[in-house]
């Protein structure tokens, strides 16, 4: 034990400022399809202190799950926690790109403004010990050292150090982990930087006792002057592009990468009303087009806002409740102590789609002073309801057709969606409120009250009387010009 503790402190002393990391790869203890297509990470950065909470969409039997994550130091047991999945669901619902809806007022009725946000994450003991001792001896042969081991929640955790990637790969393989074919290649840079490895697998007995049928997120914390996520390791068993959602909290402003461009997602665009039924598909296609437009190498900003307890408006509009004290505590935002100005929190949501060829480097972040608010939002507008038979109503219907035409063009520009039937959407209201072609074409500039018979007899002869009188008056009563003397 003394040797182990000494090793831990030596490791912390030597490499505590070299690397900070997450985003490992999954390894299987049996042949199964294991691909990490999407991951979510909560990052908390305060000075050199970092808290990382990891969630994944692991697909497969949990007994086959295992994960390898680079970490900068040998973590103490009190630096590792298991948290509930709900924190990710809450942050996702609150910060996700949103579709908001508004309602036109009826121009033929007193104006009533109605804005509404859409509510729219058995082996005998002695035998086991002998086996472990043999395994420890074998570990030394491969340059792999078990620096620490814990059981936390439903997870068995090992912290390993290794001298070379081939040795670590061999060690994992001999211990029953199925290593991705590209693992040794991506492990090499981390071993050269003296990184430790956080190896996690599910303790089935613990999991059954806890009653969970899913994998809860794991949270780690450490001190390091570098602020980064090693996404390269996550590509080892990737089956195509990987999506990573980062929810970041700081005291001051946005979190942005320093080695890749940050691009804001399009926002405040007005789109057709029917997008409401396909908003998920719409945003997928919108993101896909933005991803390719930016050369598949940008990091996209989806949300940024001051969410401090003292901050009034935290979104416009909000689609779910903003983070509260319990959420901050779960995420590791430990400087929030109450309703005071010291509890400043800025929330950034980033979306990264990465591949090995376009993201050859790990994500390196910085905390910026930029506190500008931003949210990816898209707008649909419901047309006015009720009777539109008035002069203002006629103008409204014409304007509505023009507006819908622009919405359809915006949809094509954002998501690439085209459909000949969109023409019906554009003219829907124009056809519905088309004027009656049999309506009488009456002369309205002559007051009917002064006409013989008024409206009752139609006054058909009278509507010509006044114009005729005007013409005759101009013709015969016009003053004659005096001829100038020659």
Distance CA 367, CA 462 (A): 81
Judge whether 293 and 341 are in contact, CB under 8 Å: no
Kind plus residue range of the DSSP H or E element containing 205: helix 204-210
- 228 bridge partner residues: 364
pLDDT value, residue 68: 83
The predicted structure's pLDDT at residue 28 = 38
Cα–Cα distance, 276 to 405 (Å, whole number):
17
DSSP 448-475: GGGSTTTTTTTTTTHHHHHHHHHHHHHH
| CA dist list (Å): 227 to 62, 172, 255, 296, 360 | 31, 28, 10, 23, 17
Q: Is the dihedral of CA 13, 18, 22, 24 positive or negative?
A: negative
Work out the mean pLDDT of the chain and round it to a whole number.
79
- The Cβ of residue 366 has, within 10 Å, a number of other Cβ atoms equal to 15
* pLDDT value at residue 330: 97
Pairing of strands 155-162, 196-202: antiparallel
Residues with Cβ < 8 Å from 15, sequence gap 6 or more? 72, 73, 193, 194, 195, 196
Q: What distance in Å separates the CA atoms of residue 151 and residue 307, rounded to the nearest whole number?
A: 35
Q: How many angstroms separate the most distant Cα atoms in the chain?
A: 141
Q: For residue 425, which of 394, 441, 404 has the smallest C-alpha distance? A: 404
Helix, strand, coil: what percent of the chain each, to 5?
35, 25, 40
Contact 36, 234 (CB under 8 A): yes
pTM to 2 decimal places: 0.76
Cα 395 → chain centroid? 39
Count helices and strands in the chain by DSSP H and E runs: 12, 21
Write phi, then psi, for 329 (nearest 5 degrees).
-65, -45
Residue 202's pLDDT is what?
87
R_g of the chain computed on alpha carbons:
34
β partners of residue 381: 102
For the record, the structure tokens of 403 come out as 């507006």
Q: 242 forms bridges with which residues in the sheet?
A: 354
CA 467, CA 446: separation in Å to the nearest integer? 9
pLDDT tens by residue, 240-262 = 888 899 999 999 999 999 999 99
Write out the H or E segment, with its range, that includes residue 173: helix 165-174
- 1-57 residue pLDDT tens: 333 322 222 222 222 223 233 344 544 332 223 344 678 999 999 999 999 999 876
Helix (H) or strand (E) holding 431: helix 422-432
Sequence-distant (≥ 6) Cβ neighbours of residue 251 within 8 angstroms: 46, 335, 344, 345, 346
SS3 call for 231? helix
Distances (CA, A) of 351 to 2, 53, 256, 287, 300: 44, 16, 11, 9, 5
Say how far apart CA 393 and CA 390 lie, in whole Å: 5
Structure token digits, residue 249: 């909290």
What stretch of H or E contains 367?
Answer: strand 363-367
**Count of alpha carbons within 13 Å of 344, Cβ hemisphere only?**
10
Taking each helix axis from N to C end, the angle separating 422-432 and 391-415, rounded to the nearest 10 degrees, works out to 170
Which stretches of the chain drop beneath a pLDDT of 50? 1-24, 26-36, 113-127, 130, 134, 139, 448-459, 482-486
Q: What is the spatial distance between Cα 239 and Cα 225, in angstroms, rounded to a whole number?
A: 33
């Amino acid at each position: 034990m003394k040797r182990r503790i000494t090793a831990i402190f030596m490791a912390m002393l030597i490499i505590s400022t070299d690397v900070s990391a997450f985003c490992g790869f999954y390894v299987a203890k049996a042949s199964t399809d294991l691909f990490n297509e999407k991951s979510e990470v909560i990052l908390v950065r305060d000075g050199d202190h970092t808290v990382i909470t990891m969630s994944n969409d692991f697909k497969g039997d949990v007994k086959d799950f295992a994960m390898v994550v680079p970490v900068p130091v040998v973590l103490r047991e009190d630096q590792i926690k298991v948290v509930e999945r709900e924190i990710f669901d809450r942050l996702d619902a609150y910060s996700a790109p949103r579709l908001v809806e508004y309602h036109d007022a009826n121009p033929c009725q007193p104006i009533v403004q109605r804005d509404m946000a859409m509510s729219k994450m058995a082996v005998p003991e002695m035998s086991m010990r002998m086996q472990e001792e043999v395994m420890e001896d074998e570990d030394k042969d491969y340059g792999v050292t078990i620096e620490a081991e814990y059981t936390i929640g439903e997870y068995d955790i090992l912290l390993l150090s290794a001298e070379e990637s081939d040795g670590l790969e061999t060690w994992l393989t001999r211990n029953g982990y199925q290593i991705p074919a590209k693992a040794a290649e991506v492990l090499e840079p981390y071993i050269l930087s003296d990184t430790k490895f956080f190896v996690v697998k599910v303790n089935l007995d613990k999991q059954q006792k806890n009653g969970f049928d899913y994998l809860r997120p794991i949270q780690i914390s450490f001190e390091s002057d570098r602020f980064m996520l090693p996404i390269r390791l996550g590509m080892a068993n990737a089956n195509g592009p990987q999506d990573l959602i980062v929810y970041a909290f700081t005291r001051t402003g946005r979190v942005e990468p320093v080695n890749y461009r940050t691009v804001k997602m399009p926002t405040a665009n007005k789109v057709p009303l029917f997008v409401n039924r396909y908003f998920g598909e719409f945003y997928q296609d919108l993101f896909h087009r933005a991803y390719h437009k930016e050369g598949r190498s940008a990091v996209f900003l989806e949300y940024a806002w001051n969410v401090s307890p003292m901050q009034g408006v935290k979104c416009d509009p909000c689609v779910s409740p903003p983070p509260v004290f319990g959420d901050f505590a779960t995420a590791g935002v430990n400087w929030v102590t109450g309703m005071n100005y010291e509890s400043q929190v800025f929330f950034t949501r980033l979306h990264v789609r990465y591949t090995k060829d376009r993201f050859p480097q790990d994500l390196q972040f910085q905390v910026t002073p930029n506190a500008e608010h931003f949210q990816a939002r898209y707008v649909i507008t419901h047309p006015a309801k009720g009777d539109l038979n008035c002069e203002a109503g006629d103008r409204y219907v014409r304007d509505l057709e023009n507006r819908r035409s622009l919405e359809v063009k915006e949809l094509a520009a954002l998501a690439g969606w085209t459909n000949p039937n969109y023409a019906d959407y554009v003219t829907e209201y124009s056809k519905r409120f088309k004027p009656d072609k049999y309506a009488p074409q009456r002369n309205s500039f002559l007051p009917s009250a002064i006409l013989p018979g008024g409206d009752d007899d139609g006054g058909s002869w009278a509507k010509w009387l006044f114009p005729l009188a005007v013409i005759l008056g101009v013709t015969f009563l016009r003053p004659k010009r005096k001829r100038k003397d020659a």
